[in-house]
Amino acid sequence: MAGRTCAGYNSLVSLSSQTARVKVLFFGRLKEIVGHAEDSVELPDGAPIEALFSHYGVNHPELARFRASLVASRNQEFAAWSTPLHSGDEVAFLPPVSGG
């Protein structure tokens, strides 16, 4: 799965736009839905986390059902869905946590 382009946003990339490669992590229930724990994705530089999540919704429509209960992180910090992504970022989609 690594190396795919974030298709849904290709249309937003102007010819001069830079792209960003980000690492994506899935945990718990999400890992089982997506089928793997880690991915690498190219997307337009500055695209929001929301866009990255929508990208996975194309192949896994059932993800939409979990959107409201997920929190996203960027570089190991909880991050708003509007957070813009840049090359080298590590993004994770986190189901409700149940440690302890």
Partner 1 sequence: MNKSLQPDLLALVRDPIDPRTLIAHVRAAEDGAIVTFDGCVRNHSHGRRTLFLDYEAYESMALLKMREIAGQIHEQFPIHLVAIAHRLGRLEIGETSVFIAVSSAHRPAAFEACRFAIDTLKRTVPIWKKEYFEDGAVWADGEMPPAPLETRTAKPAS
Q: Within 13 Å of residue 95, how many CA atoms lie on the same side as its CB?
A: 14
- For the bound state, the minimum distance from the C-beta of residue 22 to partner 1, rounded and expressed in Å, comes to 15
Binding track over 13-52 against partner 1, x by CB under 8 A: ------------x-xxx-----------------------
Q: Which is nearer to partner 1, 14 or 98 (CB)?
A: 98
Q: Which of 35, 80, 87, 88 binds partner 1 (CB under 8 A)?
A: 80
Q: Sort 5 into a burial class: Cβ within 10 Å, 0-12 / 13-18 / 19+.
A: middle
